[in-house]
C-alpha cells in the first residue's frame, strides 16, 4: 500500500460541553497530524437533531483556541472539503444511501416504533438482523409496488444496513492490534431516517471520512464497538483500499475506584471535567472549567498528553506542545485505561505557573480577592504571588486524609495570604505559636509587649522602608540589643505563625500599617 498523506479529524457532536476525554482525543489527533506533516480537520457531527445543544459548537471552538490546539480545516477554519457541518451535507448523504440501496447492501424498513416494541416483547433479545428481517415490514418482504405506494402515501421509513451473518470482521487497530468480531452479533443498523431526511452517525461518519480523505481515525475507546460496522460499510461502498487506519484510545478512568471518569467524580473531589466553564442553556446549571479554575493551557495540554501515552522513562514529564509533537508515538499508546490523577494535574499547573511571570497570576488572583471584598493593585498582587507561590497548602484527598501540595491556583493563595490585606482583629491565646512566643513581663524580663514597643519605636525611625533598607538598618540594631523579635513581630503583623520574610511583609504593608498592627497587638496581648 502506498503511504497516504496523513489527514485526521476531530468530529464531536454538539450535544453539550466538550468532556476532557474529548479534549485528549483532539490533542492526540493534533499531535499525530503535526508529527507526520499532516492535516487536522474539525468536523461537526450534528445529524442527531434531538441531542443538539445550542452554544456547544462555539464552546468547543473556544476551548481549542484557549488550549492552543489549531485545526487546518473545518467548521470556522475553511478548507476545500466542506461543508464541514454534517447538517449541511444532506444531499451528499442521500446520494450514498441510494448507492447502497441500489446495490442491495441496504434496504428500506417501515416498522413503526410500536411495531418494533411489540416485536421486542414477543421475541426475547430481539435484534433486527438476518434472522428476523424476513418477519418485518421492509423492502425485502414487501413488493416493489407496495414499497413505492407506502413511500408515496407519506409513510416514514428508515434505511437499514443489510449485514451478512457469519463473517469474521477484522479491525486492524494501531493500539490494540487485530480485533475480530463475528458479523452475526451485529444488527442491521439504521443508516438513514426519512423523518428528518438525515443519515445516522454511522453513515455520515464513513461517507465524510472517505470524502475528506481521512487517513487515520483516532478516537475514544467507546467507539470501538462501532468499528466492525464501519469496516463493513467501507466494503459495501467499495472503499476498502482507502479505508482509514483505526486507533482507539484508552478510557479515562476515575481517580478512585473503578470505572469511567464522570462529572460526578469531579464534583466530589473538586476538579473540573470540562476545559471551560459551561452554562447549561436548559437548566442554567454551571459546570466548572479548567480555564476558570486557574489552569494555564500548557499545563492542561501536558497533563492530558500523558494520560495514555508517555515518552519513555528517561524523558522529563514536562513537555511543551512542540516537544510533545516531537516525541508522540501513537503505536506506543496504552490499551489500558488511564487513571485521572487530578492531584498530578494540579502539580503540572504549579510547575507552569511558577515559570510564568508573577504578573500572569493577577487576573485570577484579582477575582479571588474581589470575591472576598478586597481590592488590591496589580503591583500588590504581583508582590504577594512572588512571596507566596512556593508555599504548600493542605488538602483532603479522596480518602479523607490530610495531605500537602504546592500552590497550584490563585485560589490556593487566599487561605495563606489574608493577612496581607486584612489586619488581625483578634489573637487566639490558645494558639501554640502565640503561647510559645508571647511572654508576660516578670521580675527579670521586660516581657514581649515591652520589647515590641521598643522595637516599634526603633522601626518608626527607619527612613528606607524597603525590605533591603529595613534589613540593613534593623539587623545590626537587633544584634546589638541582643533581641530576638521575629516571632513576636510575626504575631503582630500576621496574627499566626505563618507568612513570608518579615522585612518583605513590613515593606508590603508600609510603615504606618506595620506600626499600627504592632501597637494593636501590644495593647491586645499585653
Ligand atoms: N461524533 C462522534 C463523537 O461525538 C465521533 C466519533 C468518531 O470519531 O468517529 O465523538
| CA–centroid distance, residue 57 to ligand 1 (Å) | 14
Q: Which of 13, 84, 216, 251 to mutate to test the pocket of ligand 1 (most atoms within 8 A of CB)?
A: 13
In this prediction, residue 448 carries a pLDDT of 87
Atom of ligand 1 nearest to the CA of 201: 1
Residue 387 parent element (H or E): helix 378-388
Catalytic residue among 263, 344, 391, 471: 263
Q: Does residue 263 carry a catalytic annotation?
A: yes
The protein residue with its alpha carbon nearest to ligand 1, atom 10, reads 12
Atom of ligand 1 nearest to the CA of 209: 9
| CA–centroid distance, residue 69 to ligand 1 (Å) | 18
Other C-beta atoms closer than 10 Å to the C-beta of 179 total: 17
| CA–centroid distance, residue 70 to ligand 1 (Å) | 18
- At the topology level, CATH places domain 432-525 in Arc Repressor Mutant, subunit A (1.10.10)
Name residues whose C-beta falls within 8 Å of residue 393's C-beta, 6 or more positions apart in sequence: 404, 405, 406, 407, 412, 415, 416
Which of 305, 279, 283, 281 shows the shortest CA–CA distance to 292? 279
| CA–centroid distance, residue 198 to ligand 1 (Å) | 17
Q: Which of 7, 8, 12, 32 to mutate to test the pocket of ligand 1 (most atoms within 8 A of CB)?
A: 12
Give residue limits of the domains in the chain: 357-421, 432-525
Q: Partners of 10 in the beta sheet?
A: 42
Other C-beta atoms closer than 10 Å to the C-beta of 395 total: 16
Do residues 172 and 243 touch, judged by C-beta distance below 8 A? no
In this prediction, residue 397 carries a pLDDT of 81
CA dihedral of residues 251, 257, 261, 267 (deg, nearest 10): -170
Atom of ligand 1 nearest to the CA of 9: 8
Each residue's pLDDT expressed in tens, for the chain with a length of 526 residues: 567 899 999 999 999 999 999 999 999 999 999 999 999 999 999 999 899 999 999 999 999 999 999 999 999 999 999 999 999 999 999 999 999 999 999 999 999 999 999 999 999 999 999 999 999 999 999 999 999 999 999 999 999 999 999 999 999 999 999 999 999 999 999 999 999 999 999 999 999 999 999 999 999 999 999 999 999 999 999 999 999 999 999 999 999 988 999 999 999 998 999 999 999 999 999 999 999 888 999 999 999 999 999 998 888 999 999 999 999 999 999 999 999 999 999 999 999 999 999 998 898 899 999 999 999 999 999 999 999 999 999 888 878 899 998 999 999 999 999 999 999 999 998 999 999 999 888 877 778 899 999 999 999 999 999 999 999 999 999 999 988 999 999 999 999 999 999 999 999 999 999 999 999 999 999 8
Do residues 200 and 193 touch, judged by C-beta distance below 8 A? yes
In this prediction, residue 25 carries a pLDDT of 98
Atom of ligand 1 nearest to the CA of 205: 9
Instruction: Give the pocket of ligand 1 (CB within 6 Å).
Output: 11-13, 45, 205, 219, 223
The sheet with strand 168-173 has its strands ordered as 73-74, 39-42, 7-10, 216-220, 245-249, 168-173, 177-182
The protein residue with its alpha carbon nearest to ligand 1, atom 3, reads 12
Backbone torsion region of residue 278, taken as left when φ is above 0, otherwise alpha when ψ lies between -120 and 50, otherwise beta? beta
- Full-model pTM: 0.90
In this prediction, residue 253 carries a pLDDT of 97
| CA–centroid distance, residue 335 to ligand 1 (Å) | 19
Amino acid at each position: 500500500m502506498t503511504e497516504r498523506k496523513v489527514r485526521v479529524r476531530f468530529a464531536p457532536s454538539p450535544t453539550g460541553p466538550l468532556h476532557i476525554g474529548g479534549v485528549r482525543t483532539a490533542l492526540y489527533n493534533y499531535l499525530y497530524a503535526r508529527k507526520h506533516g499532516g492535516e487536522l480537520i474539525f468536523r461537526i457531527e450534528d445529524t442527531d437533531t434531538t441531542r443538539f445543544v445550542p452554544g456547544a459548537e462555539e464552546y468547543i471552538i473556544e476551548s481549542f483556541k484557549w488550549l492552543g490546539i489549531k485545526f487546518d480545516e473545518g467548521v470556522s477554519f475553511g478548507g476545500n472539503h466542506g461543508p464541514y457541518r454534517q447538517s449541511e451535507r444532506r444531499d451528499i448523504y442521500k446520494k450514498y444511501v441510494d448507492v447502497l440501496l441500489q446495490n442491495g447492501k441496504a434496504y428500506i424498513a417501515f416498522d413503526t416504533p410500536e411495531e418494533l416494541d411489540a416485536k421486542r416483547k414477543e421475541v426475547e433479545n430481539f435484534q433486527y438482523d438476518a434472522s428476523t428481517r424476513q418477519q418485518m415490514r421492509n423492502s425485502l418482504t414487501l413488493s416493489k409496488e407496495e414499497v413505492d405506494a407506502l413511500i408515496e402515501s407519506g409513510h416514514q421509513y428508515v434505511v437499514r444496513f443489510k449485514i451478512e451473518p457469519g463473517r469474521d470482521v477484522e479491525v486492524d487497530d494501531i493500539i490494540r492490534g487485530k480485533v475480530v468480531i463475528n458479523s452475526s452479533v451485529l444488527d442491521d443498523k439504521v443508516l438513514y431516517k426519512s423523518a428528518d431526511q438525515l443519515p445516522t452517525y454511522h453513515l455520515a461518519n464513513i461517507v465524510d471520512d472517505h470524502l475528506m480523505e481521512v487517513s487515520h481515525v483516532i478516537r475514544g475507546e467507546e467507539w470501538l464497538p462501532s468499528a466492525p460496522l464501519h469496516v463493513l460499510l467501507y466494503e459495501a461502498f467499495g472503499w476498502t483500499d482507502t479505508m482509514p487506519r483505526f486507533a482507539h484510545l484508552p478510557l479515562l478512568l476515575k481517580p478512585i475506584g473503578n470505572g469511567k471518569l464522570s462529572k460526578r467524580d469531579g464534583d466530589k473531589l473538586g476538579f473540573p471535567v470540562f476545559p471551560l466553564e459551561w452554562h447549561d442553556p436548559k437548566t442554567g446549571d454551571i459546570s466548572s472549567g479548567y480555564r476558570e479554575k486557574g489552569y494555564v493551557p500548557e499545563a492542561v495540554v501536558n497533563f492530558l498528553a500523558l494520560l495514555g501515552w508517555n515518552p519513555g522513562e528517561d524523558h522529563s514529564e514536562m513537555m511543551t506542545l512542540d516537544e510533545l509533537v516531537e516525541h508522540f508515538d501513537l503505536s506506543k499508546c496504552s490499551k489500558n485505561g488511564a487513571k485521572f490523577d487530578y492531584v498530578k494535574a494540579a502539580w503540572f499547573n504549579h510547575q507552569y505557573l511558577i515559570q510564568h511571570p508573577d504578573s500572569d497570576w493577577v487576573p485570577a488572583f484579582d477575582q479571588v480577592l474581589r470575591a472576598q471584598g478586597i481590592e488590591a493593585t496589580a503591583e500588590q498582587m504581583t508582590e504577594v504571588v512572588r512571596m507566596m507561590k512556593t508555599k504548600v497548602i493542605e488538602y483532603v484527598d479522596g480518602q479523607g486524609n490530610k495531605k500537602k501540595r504546592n500552590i497550584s491556583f490563585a485560589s490556593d493563595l487566599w487561605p495563606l495570604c489574608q493577612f496581607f490585606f486584612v489586619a488581625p482583629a483578634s489573637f487566639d491565646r490558645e494558639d501554640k505559636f502565640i503561647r510559645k512566643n508571647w511572654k508576660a513581663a516578670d521580675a527579670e524580663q521586660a516581657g514581649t509587649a515591652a520589647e515590641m514597643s521598643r522595637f516599634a519605636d526603633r522601626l518608626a525611625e527607619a527612613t528606607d522602608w524597603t525590605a533591603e533598607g529595613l534589613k540593613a538598618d534593623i539587623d545590626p540594631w537587633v544584634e546589638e540589643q541582643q533581641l530576638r523579635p521575629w516571632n513576636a513581630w510575626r504575631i503582630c503583623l500576621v496574627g499566626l505563625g505563618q507568612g513570608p520574610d518579615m522585612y518583605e511583609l513590613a515593606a508590603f504593608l508600609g510603615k504606618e500599617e506595620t506600626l499600627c498592627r504592632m501597637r494593636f497587638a501590644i495593647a491586645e496581648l499585653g
